[in-house]
Every structure is written in structure tokens, then in C-alpha cells.
Amino acid sequence: MLDVLYLAHDVADPAIRRRTLMLEAGGANVTLAGFRRGADTPVVDGHIELGVTKDGRFGQRIAAVGKAAMTLGGKLRGVGKPGVIIARNLEMLALANRANAVFGGDVPIVYECLDIHRLLLRNDFAGRALRAAEHYLGRNVSLLVTSSPAFIENYFRPISRLKALTLLLENQVIELADDAEMQTARPRPPQPGEPWKIGWFGALRCRKSLKLLAEFTRAMNGKFEVVMRGRPAYTEFDDFNGFVEKEPYMRFHGAYKNPEDLAWIYDEVQFSWGIDFFEEGLNSSWLLPNRLYEGCRYNAVPIAMRGTETARFISAKHIGLVLDRADSSALATLFADMTPERYLAEFGKVAATGSPTWIFDRADCQRLVNRLWGFAPTTHRRHRYMSSPKHTATRVDCYER
């Protein structure tokens, strides 16, 4: 069995839980160590706590990482030498190097980078210094994991100085049931007198989207409603809860469990908001968000912004709706001829792509762990469970940048 030490920037992040489930389903034994993002964040059972960080406080997070580095040896006492160390985000890469030293210096490091922070893209001293830090901390990285081709094309290939092999691992929904047990999403046009519903689920961090959707639903006078679920980044809003409470056609229902709750929350809506202006023109234009895969898995019609990787992705599959301009009138135009018949046609296009397009199943999990096995030291690999499936070049394949 492959032993994995997973260093997480936020142990309560649903994406961390999904990745842990994915690795365990693939046959790995995962030890999770990381920070809690905020003192009121619930404690995750079974993890090694490294401290508390604050959202949007980059300096505080650097200090917390430095403090954790000094105590990491003691924190890892009793943990067996892993075959692989995975560092989620740049701040954890520093701790991965420290953990590697604790275990003797020969453990391969996997750098998982699913967002490109805006500071890495600045041309001033701060940006150059952060890229230099990434280069220095990444000198021992064996594998870079990222989730969108646009991250590779726009950052890792032309700007970053990392030299590691790259693995493109999209944000598919983890689904471990047999094919016969897969839930089938049904069409859900609104009943007469009911509004069309747009679901905005996941990481809620975009002030511009919030304002745009509020203006649009007010202009449509109740013909459309926005349903929000997930984890708001409260530091990005003046008063998220207060704003939503004042909007007549917007509702926020709090967090949900991923993947367990996906079927029923998407069953409530017809459309999935796949637009994010949080780092407009940069990270937000390049990412392929979790909500894209989650919504399409359950045949919610995706909405994307023209000029983004998400729009290119859905256009290539001939599905979804693409918004030309970020204003409420353009959104109204996009939905001007929305009828039950048109919705059913759009639903059918998404359904025709098939569930396997949007999910990461048990076989995929095994292939991923097999890929990681290839980086483990020989002394670790000799204990490998040899009946695991042979790697095939599917959606979890590596290539040189």
C-alpha cells in the first residue's frame, strides 16, 4: 500500500476531502496534516493540525508556515516514512521540503497547484520574489498536478521556472459506485408560475457575480431565482449575508457535502453558474471550476463567460450557454427565448455527453495511485500491492511541459 503524507492549506476545504477519498479509493493510505482556515473552522477528525491561518492574510499565513516548520518534526513523530508527500498550494510546498528532510531527504514531492495566485503574476518585486520562492521550493518536486490546460499554457509553461513532470487532473466528481448504481439526473423544467433557477454552488468568492445576479433577477421580476450553496469567502464581500437577505430572488442555504449532496442540490435547479470574476483575466479566466463538472454530472445547463477556459471547454462539447458581456442586460438577452422546450434541448445536450465525462471513478483513482507509485522510492515500491490495475494512458496521464 502506498503511504501518502498530504499537506493541506485548509483541512476543512471540501476539495481536500475529495482528494483524500480519491487516494484512499485508489489504494493509498493517507495521513492528512494541515492548517485550519480560521479558529472557528471545525476540527477534521484524524488529521495532524499544524496551526490556524486567516483567509486573505498572506503575511499571517507565511508566519504560520514558518512556525509550523519549526515544530513539524515533532508533529510527524510516530508517522511512518511515506512513499510520497503531496503539497497542496505553494505555502505547503515549504513544509513538504521540511517534511522530506525529517524523513531522510529521499521522499518524492508532488506539488498540487489548482489556482494561480495573482501575486505570482505580478511584474513587480513582490511577484518576482514569489516566483523565485516557487522555483526554490520546487527544486525537489517530482510531479506537478494541476487542473486546467490553461494553467499550463498561461503560467507553468511560459512563466514558471518549475521543471517537474506535469499531470493534468481535472476537477471531476468522485464517484465510487458501480455503473449500475449511478444516479440518473432527470429534466426539471419549472412548473407553471415557478421561476427558472440558477445554482451557484461551491466556493462563493466573486463580488461581481453576486452583484450581476442580483441585478438580473430584479430586472426579471421573479422569473429567475438564484440558489446559492457552499462556503462564502466573507473577506471578499462587504456583507455577504446582509446583501443576500435584502435580495428578493436570491437564497443562500449554506454548506453542502461533496459528493454526497450533489444529486439533490442540482435537482433543484436548471442552470449552473460557472462564471467567476474573482481574478478576472487571470486565474478566473483559466480555471475549470468544480461546479462545472458537478453541474454537468447532473445535467444542469452550464453558464460560462466568453473568452474563458470554461467557455472554450463547453463550446467544444456543444453544450451550455455563453455570456457575451458581464452585465444584466446581456444575461437577460441570453435567457430571452428560454422556454421549457429550449431548456429540454439544452438538458439533452449535456446528458448526451454521458456521466463518465464528468466523473472520476474507482478505476481512475487506482490509475492515479499507480502513477504516484512510480515516484516512490524503491524500498517503498517493493511492498506494492501487485494486483492493482496496470496504468493506462487515460485522463490521469503525465507529459513533459
Averaged pLDDT, 100-113 = 96
The pLDDT assigned to 235 comes to 87
Q: Are residues 51 and 199 in the same domain?
A: no
The pLDDT assigned to 46 comes to 79
Q: Are residues 158 and 192 in the same domain?
A: no
Percentage of the chain exceeding pLDDT 90: 77
Model confidence at 80: pLDDT above 60: yes
Query: pLDDT tens across 236-280, in order?
Result: 999 999 999 999 999 999 999 888 899 999 999 999 999 999 888
Among residues 239, 358, 356, 231, which one has the least CA distance to residue 292?
Answer: 358
Q: Are residues 13 and 49 in the same domain?
A: yes
In the chain, the number of structural domains is 2
Q: Are residues 201 and 312 in the same domain?
A: yes
DSSP 167-182: EE---PEE--S-GGGP
CATH number, domain of 24, equals: 3.40.50.11930
The boundaries of the domain holding residue 194 are 180-356
Averaged pLDDT, 140-145 = 96
Q: Are residues 33 and 168 in the same domain?
A: yes
Cell output for 334? 441570453
Q: Are residues 93 and 153 in the same domain?
A: yes
Which range (35-44, 136-145, 183-192, 211-220) has the least confidence? 35-44
Q: Are residues 147 and 237 in the same domain?
A: no
Q: Place 380 in a pLDDT band, splitting at 50, 70 and 90.
A: low
Query: pLDDT tens across 339-377, in order?
Result: 999 999 999 999 999 989 999 999 999 999 999 998 877
Cell output for 164? 517537474
